[in-house]
Amino acid sequence: MIYTGGTIGMINDPENNMLKPFDFSQIKEEVPELNKIKCEIDAISFDNPVDSSNVNTEIWEKIGDLIWDKYEGYDGFVVLHGTDTMSFTASALSFMFVNLTKPIIFTGSQLPIGTVRTDGKENLITAIEIAADKKNGSPVIQEVAIYFEYQLFRANRTTKISSEHFDAFKSFNYPPLAEAGININYNHSSLFRSNVKEVDYFSGFNAGVSTIVFFPGITIDHLVHMFNNPQIKILILLTYGAGNLPLNDQLIDLIQKQIKKGKIIVNLSQCIAGKVDQSKYETGRQLESVGVIGAEDMTFEALISKSMLLLKKYQDVKEISKMLLHPLSGEISTLDT
């Protein structure tokens, strides 16, 4: 169990009535129910826990490197993380570890584990049970997942939808991997299994990625500035509906010129459910005809983290473009293998 930071790891300091991180080496004293789980638990805490809004690619690499260093010594891993950027971090880990044979379960809470009404205890206990669960000697879960409020989701399919409710995460384009009630009921047909049995690990990111959010009234001058930034290698267009834009000759010309210069342009819908279909409407077909890549039903969090990893891993524009739509860890429905 790795505590990186976040609300779940906080308890009340009786001296000043302030919340402070507690010592995770003493986790079984704070959550005695863990003694009833039939597995051995080792706990590691970051020396300086990170608020999830301060998480960056260096933190992703730190978590990944730590798990990779200890991968052979443990049957599963639970990562405690702040909720605000959990989907980004968990998605990134799903692309850093390819062909996983063990579970990496992210969880956290909306209330500190030291408060009476905390959701943290149930999330933590069940996440550990899932990480320890085996069938016929093999881990039931063999991918990166997020457990929150009685549901287990594929990590790279999740989005945080609420800052107030306990059910803070949803997976709109893929069914839950499991639901926890009296029993933990797994949706076995939805669990990811790789055809390759050797896990691959890559740690590294290039932040040359940016986004443009389209809205009625956006000007071409604003777009020119964003498109012409030489530091940006992958530009994600956050479009309407199934991937539509208010197209005109100036915008099409701008897109074509940037693609010819080697910039990768990706079309991602602003809708959190459904997918980009560039063949559905004329505006989408125009984008496809000039070389814009439709992101299918990837989440924003998955596309951002995957793009940064691919930029670091590959140099060739054609290879990066190909790999963006190549399923690494079940992040694209229509291309699942």
Residues annotated as catalytic (active site), given as ranges: 7
Q: Is 247 exposed, middle or buried (0-12, 13-18, 19+ CB in 10 A)?
A: middle
What is the distance between the alpha carbons of residues 155 and 175, in angstroms, rounded to a whole number?
12
Residue bearing tokens 């930071």:
5
In which element (H, E) is residue 1 found?
Answer: none
Beta strands in the chain (DSSP E): 2-3, 10-13, 18-21, 44-45, 77-80, 97-98, 104-107, 134-135, 138-139, 144-148, 151-154, 159-160, 169-170, 178-180, 184-186, 200-201, 209-213, 234-239, 264-269, 293-294
Indicate the residue type of 106.
Answer: F
Could you tell me the sign of the dihedral formed by the alpha carbons of 159, 161, 164, 166, in that order?
Answer: negative
Helix (H) or strand (E) holding 272: none
In three-state secondary structure terms, 290 is coil
**Beta-strand pair 151-154/159-160:** unpaired
Amino acid (1-letter code) at residue 133: D
Residue 145, Cβ density class (10 Å: 0-12 exposed, 13-18 middle, ≥19 buried): buried
φ and ψ at 274, to 5 degrees?
Answer: 95, -165
**β-strand 151-154 against 178-180: which pairing, if any?**
antiparallel
In Å, how far are 15, 227, 236, 240, 267 from 214, measured between CA atoms?
A: 50, 13, 11, 8, 11
